[in-house]
A and B are shown apart, each in its own frame.
Chain A
Amino acid sequence: MIKSRYLVLAHFWTAFILFLAALLLGEWQMLLRSPLHAWVDIPEHYYRSVTGHGTVMAYVFPMLIAMGFGYAIVELSLKQPLIGLKWAWGAFAVAVAGALMAAAAVASGAATVLYTFYPPLIGSPFYYIGIVLVVVGSWIWVSLMAVNLRAWRRHHPGEPVPLAMYANVAGAYLWAWTAVGAALEILLQILPVALGFKSTIDAGLARVLFSWTLHAIVYFWLMPAYIAFYVIVPRAIGGRLYSDVMARLAFALFLVFAMPIGVHHLFADPEVGSGFKFVHAVFTAMVVIPTLLTVFTICASVEIAARLRGGRGVLGWLTALPWRNPAMLGLTFSFVMLGLGGAGGLINMSYQMDSTIHNTQWVTGHFHLIFGGAVVIMYFIIAYDLWPNLTLKPLAQCRLIGLQLWLWFIGIVVMTLPWHLAGLLGMPRRMAYFDFSNPALASQAWTVNAAVLGGALLLASGVLFVVILARAHFNPRSALAPYRFSAAVHAAARVPKALNGYALWVCLMIALTLTNYAIPIALLLRANTGVPPVFYFNR
């Protein structure tokens, strides 16, 4: 049982309700852009919706999941009550207040700047202050994770930190440093202009600072999913984790290589030198290493589970797997989508190939496939897996859960693969509408219709997900087996010092941020090329 279960439940429920609302916005956007519906009369309404959808899905939803999951991990893996419970509730309150403030600014039409801000667009200061509050809440969470780990270490000197907590804190540290870029952009560049203290803004510098956050945040979204791969799935399917040390190494490498790579989002930006673009492309490629380590370790763990269940032969063991088990199903879907999305990602990060798909619908397809698909489906698995321990009630709706996961997988594939194709054909992203009566575009209309269909499946799956979780609250209480994370095949009595702490990896992360970002930022500061802002609210 989780002592601070109400805290975790509050995070999860808030996250999932906001998620459902954002899902609804997303489907409305798809419908609006498709030939099934008349053009949107006021494109601002479309972009307002995109801003709300993006802000919730990119910031609020994953942050609340990571925070709630993090608190649960502290208790479940360290076997100690959460230190700083009041602080945690405070952080939750700050984050929710920030999310509501930002949502109000967006809903009133005063902050239609999309979640990536796009200076010189300037929205209402309430929007940015709301986002800052969400980040402040998450930083309190980061500190709590560090404090709880330190307390545990004091009582367990020299012992290996449990893998779940090691990975969790790696994610927290990654986020703490990742958020600095966007925080600098908001606090030093955007807010002074939004509040009227400054009259120009350097869009190039803002984009470089945002890129600092923009790609590493993706790995922050990914972290709970990866943690679930390692510490939930092998146990849930009746197997063991292939290697505890390999898992730690993957998380440590994510800390190092997830960070100094954001300039690959700026391949088309003239203010960054080509040398740095190349260096960032190389480091983006390095993320392949922890990703492939994970794929290998998890596949090996799954094979162990299959052989423990009596699987035989080179590939025959595949039939022995519990395919109806939600964790197995979720993992499979997640890996398929991760594979497709990862292959697309290799194109995005290649300096030359990117030019074919830069700013096209391909990119939208890519991140919906990776985040909306591979990552969010694992968020579902985390919720399903923790739910009995959070509600103290069983969650025995295996068939509905299976249906929900299938719907999500099919929905994502039906929505995002045609988007990739549309992007290759040159369809730009961030468009409120297309004129499909034009013969040059008519042949692409089906891709948008497919997105409407995929979106409908996703919406149905999202509703089903919330219904399944809600219904569990009304089940009678039942005795629970104590919760445990996956055990490794070889229990780690001791692990290398470097993989039991973070000092080295955090130092490397900061050092690489300096080598890869210091000169571009310094050059832009020196160039001082500010432009007048474009206000999106009544000044």
Chain B
Amino acid sequence: MTHAPPAKVGLLGVLTVILVAGGAFLLGFYGLPRAAGGGSVWQRLCRAAGIVSASADSERAAALPGLTTVVIPHDAMTTGTADQIGHGATLALRCTGCHGAQGESGADAPNLAGQYPEVIYKQLLDYQRGARVGAVMGAMAATLSAEDMLNLAHYYAYLPRLEHDHPLSSAPVLVRVGDPMRGIAPCASCHGSNDGKVGAPALDGEPKVYLEHQLTAFADGARHNDANAIMRGEARQMTAAEIALVTAHYASR
């Protein structure tokens, strides 16, 4: 048995698609934006298409002074050349007083040996631009060029870091798994052992006094150069006892 199906299926298909597409675009770009109101027809259409004006963004940025504006260049995420490291080593002579001759501080300033280069670069730029405030470091960074900062970063990244041999399983709960109900992410998910994120410093073996001071400063907003307020959000949720616990963990070797 045979039968003759409609022959104009193709034409019908094309018409249906055009009708649906036309209706959807008309509603999505004219009807619904019109119902929502605001601006001219053209402005509403641009908004529905996802075109945002750049001026709004820059105005917002200008209204929030003192925040970090550092964009990490590719150079700061690679291993430095011998020239860069050599130049950095020369510049670093004036850092040794606090950060130690081999990048290991005896004065509770951060140990810089083996730190990620982009971390050092970002902090130097933040000090120079005033996003991070420190009486000594602000002055030290004031005269550095971007190239100087990059070379300093490469020099310290090149120095060997002291080994840290605590397995993650013996770390405090906050370090391993955080506390999701309070919005505290595990420290280890950015600061190493478990995983590392670009821009997050390695914390193993840093002085306890320094770490505690920084967490407290993040918590009360005195330090505010963390992108998207990530560290301020974490630190605000932590009790003094918890700060003492996690900093003791990272400071122990």
Q: Let me know if A396 is at the binding interface, CB within 8 A.
A: no
Report yes or no: B28 in contact with A275, Cβ–Cβ below 8 A.
Answer: yes
Binds B, one of A372-380, A452-460, A504-512: A504-512
| Chain A residues, Cβ within 8 Å of B28 | 274-279, 282
Write out, one digit per residue, whether chain B residues 16-39 have a CB within 8 A of any chain A CB (1) or not (0).
010011011101110011000000
Closest residue of chain B to A47, judged by CB?
B195
Report how far A496 CA is from B4 CA in the complex, Å. 9
| Chain B residues, Cβ within 8 Å of A508 | 13-14, 17
- Residue of B24, B51, B189, B195 near A283 (CB, 8 A) is B24
| Chain A residues, Cβ within 8 Å of B180 | 431, 434-435
Write out, one digit per residue, whether chain B residues 73-110 have a CB within 8 A of any chain A CB (1) or not (0).
11001100000000000000000000000000000000
Report yes or no: B20 in contact with A523, Cβ–Cβ below 8 A.
Answer: no
Q: Let me know if B176 is at the binding interface, CB within 8 A.
A: yes
A395 to chain B, nearest CB (A): 33
Report how far A492 CA is from B197 CA in the complex, Å. 61
Q: A492-517: which residues lie under 8 A (CB-CB) from chain B?
A: 492-499, 504-505, 508, 512, 515
Known: A278-B28, A532-B198, A539-B77. A496 touches B2 (CB 8 A): no
Report yes or no: B10 in contact with A497, Cβ–Cβ below 8 A.
Answer: yes
**Size category, A interface:** 35 or more
What is the number of residues of chain B that contact chain A, defined by CB distance less than 8 Å? 50
Write out, one digit per residue, whether chain A residues 193-215 have a CB within 8 A of any chain B CB (1) or not (0).
00010111000000000000000
Q: B180-204: which residues lie under 8 A (CB-CB) from chain A?
A: 180-181, 186, 189, 194-199
Known: A256-B17, A276-B28, A279-B25. A532 touches B77 (CB 8 A): yes
Binds A, one of B42-50, B146-154, B214-222: B42-50
Closest residue of chain B to A40, judged by CB?
B177
Q: Let me know if B1 is at the binding interface, CB within 8 A.
A: yes
| Chain A residues, Cβ within 8 Å of B6 | 496
Report how far A533 CA is from B77 CA in the complex, Å. 10
| Chain A residues, Cβ within 8 Å of B10 | 496-498, 504
Report how far A101 CA is from B106 CA in the complex, Å. 47
- Residue of B23, B118, B177 near A43 (CB, 8 A) is B177
Known: A279-B24, A279-B28, A523-B51. A490 touches B1 (CB 8 A): yes
Known: A39-B177, A273-B48, A496-B8. 16 other contacts (CB 8 A): A41-B177, A42-B169, A245-B5, A275-B28, A275-B32, A282-B20, A282-B23, A441-B181, A494-B2, A496-B5, A497-B7, A505-B13, A508-B14, A512-B21, A534-B197, A539-B77
Q: Which residues of B contact A (CB under 8 A)?
A: 1-10, 13-14, 17, 20-21, 23-25, 27-29, 32-33, 45, 47-51, 72-74, 77-78, 118, 168-169, 176-177, 179-181, 186, 189, 194-199
Closest 7 CB pairs of A and B: A273-B50, A275-B48, A498-B10, A199-B74, A278-B28, A282-B24, A493-B2
Instruction: Give 6 A-B contacts (CB < 8 Å), ordered by A residue.
Output: A271-B50, A274-B33, A275-B48, A275-B49, A279-B28, A520-B50
